[in-house]
A and B are shown apart, each in its own frame.
Chain A
Amino acid sequence: MTNIEAIFIWIALYIYFSSFIAFLWGFVFKKEKPVIWGWRLALIGYLPHNISMIIRWVETGHAPVMRSYENATLGAWFILLIYFTIRWRSKKLEILGIAIVPIILLMIGNGIMSKPYLEPLSPPFRSNWLILHVLFAWIAYGTFCIMAALGMVYLLKSRALAAGKEIPFYERFPDLNILDYLLVKTAIFGFIALSVGVGAGAIWAYGLWGRYWGWDPIETWSLITWLVYAIYIHLGVTLGWKGKRMAWLAIVSIIFVFITFGGIGFIQGIHTTIL
């Protein structure tokens, strides 16, 4: 990592941290303004985050798809992009940052603690299928993070409503039926993106290792994650499950995503060697 890149990524980290504090403040004390500031800070932090990624791209001559650090910054970038897009569509959803920003912090923090040195693109990564694989995998993971955050917001709001409390803070949240609707739609969107990501990964793997599936731990876990969300969609769309149990399921399901991506450093397999 060059000094200038390090400066920008650390600036981004500090701003994201401030954003998290603002969200936490707003959430704990049920204040609206800190939440708005949390969202603004996250948006401000995105700028140095982007600059650091561009610097790295220029320095290495390739997209940031190699090893833990680049994957972490790219993943965080995608998650935030999806968060900003959703917030842009509905102001009421800026509260999702309470779950999104700490995930971003943990991801980038973990990436920085790995080996962020600059490397040229090694032959296994020179494939258009890899770009598709990474792009769609991150779109999926980002969407699932948003979905888990929606689940949390759903539970908070439903708890407040059940208690009969009239707290203006919770009125900022979207209605429960809208949250219900968004939960299923994000699940479908993420699921389709994950399917494409896994498919592109399989074709890339064939080009590299001569086989499209090898029961590598990450492959196995990504399949498990895919199945978990397939269950979610079938329960929500075809069996008509709604409400709290779907919200809980959205939160529990994200654990599988974290294991699939976050567990890479702790388990052995071909993906471990590559990442």
Chain B
Amino acid sequence: MKFIKKSWDFLGSRKLSVFIFVMAIVYYLLLYAFSLVVPDWWLANLSKLLPYKVLYLLFVINLVICEIKWIPAVLRRCKKPAPPASPEDLKRFRDKSELAEDSVNAKAFASYLKKRLYTVSEGKRHGELSPGAENPFLLYAYGGRFSPLGNVMFHIAFILILTGIYVSLQYRFEGKVYLVEGQKFTGTYGEYAQLHAAPGADFMKTPFLVKDIKTDFWGSHLLFTDLRADITSGEKTFPVWLSKAGSIDGYRITIEELNYTASYILSDKNGRLADQGAVNLANFGPGSFDSFQIPGFPYKISLSIYPDAVLSEGMLVNRSMNLNNPASQVKVVKNKRLLYSGVVKGGQPLFFDDYKLSFPKISYNGAFSIVRDPGLRWIIASFFMMITGLVWRMIFCRNEVALVQGEGKVFIYTRSDYYPVTFKGKCSKVAMTKGRAS
């Protein structure tokens, strides 16, 4: 029994909280050091190793026990504070000012405080607060006695965060697919270019079609001002953006990246079709090359796309980044020997060896992110809990004020959790102003 109590006290101690924080800093510094040299997936795995899990577990235990131990104390603090009955009780007030006796009107000050939802105990001079004894208290008021609940809310928010993290680790689904305008996603495993599915995650099975991809740039700069794709699922068509998701069956879909897809037609010297198809390129930005090889042919074909190209004095000029008038700078290499290098526009053929190659259509392809994370709602809930705790603590701030008479003077005692100077100044001013007014 003694051991259990000791363990309980240790696991719920503030010293352990500080120790956990220090250990967390050490762990995260390590994580940061690794982040400079290892890829993201390695880092994600590192953060799930046993020492990290032990730390999180310890954190949860510490947090929960602290809350359990703390809540009764907080509730006790939320009880009505006892009015000061003796000079000894005045020690709990932090600030004290002296006011001229004839300038103070306790009654008017009391009604001012009542209007501001303070609980006010008024006493006649030498009067009522302690019946039977000579009492110098004129007035006592308090507000915001439930203020400590804000702290509890703030700490409970962390329990919600941890719950959210746990739910994410168990049920999160994240996939990335590359789709060209007009292409349909059918929901099969092989379509995903990247996939991270937690043990309890469900795959997205609902098919959708990428109707078109629209983009807008800031002049000729490589800076998006808009990137959007229209998606059709069932009979519904809706847009998805880079930073604003569309949703299908609870899965959020965004378009993350933009690139070009080139359709090609390869024919031999007699005009017979040798091959045709489309290739997704990673060559976004004029001057950036990506290459591909047509299966069964020894040619390495490199392309750079100029989306809005014109020829000006023999020079290729790109007017904007919008895909208005695409031209391709093409290099064809066979066994390190350059067979062709030049610029072709849509459908215009180029010739090398005994072949004719053309790119009839350049279109956009997008990387679509498909994510479902049930942990998010916990994170959002925790966020609002945190904000509520903050607002609660700040707005319903715990304030106390007492007016005490003695030696021909009136003293104003104030105490405020957050705004001691302002509260003291305001109270003194109002107590005197009301007095003068009366």
Contacts and interface: CB of A to CB of B under 8 A. Distances in A.
Given A206-B373, A217-B32, A269-B35, A200 B383 contact: yes
Interface SS of A by simple majority: helix
Interface of B: 14-15, 17-18, 21-22, 24-25, 28-29, 31-32, 35-36, 40, 43-44, 47, 154, 165, 168, 174, 218, 223-227, 241-245, 252, 254, 369, 371, 373, 375-376, 379-380, 382-383, 386-387, 390, 393, 418, 420-422
Contacts of B254: 208, 210
Contacts of A103: none
B387 A196 contact: yes
Contacts of B380: 203
Interface residues on A, range: 35 or more
A267 B373 CA distance: 29
A57 B15 CA distance: 48
A122 B223 contact: yes
Contact of B225 (A120, A181, A206): A120
Interface SS of B by simple majority: helix
Interface string A162-206: 000000000000000000010001000000100110011011001
12 contacts: A89-B421, A119-B223, A123-B224, A192-B393, A199-B383, A200-B383, A208-B242, A210-B373, A215-B44, A223-B28, A227-B24, A231-B21
B165 to A, nearest CB: 8
Given A206-B373, A215-B35, A238-B14, A228 B25 contact: yes
Please give me the 8 A-B residue pairs with the lowest Cβ-Cβ distance, nearest first.
A210-B371, A123-B242, A199-B383, A238-B14, A220-B32, A231-B21, A227-B21, A123-B243
A235 B18 contact: yes
Contacts of A221: 32
A227 B386 contact: no
A114 interface: no
A69 to B, nearest CB: 16
Contact of A220 (B22, B31, B218, B418): B31
A199 B32 contact: no
A273 interface: no
A89 B227 CA distance: 48
Contacts of A213: 165
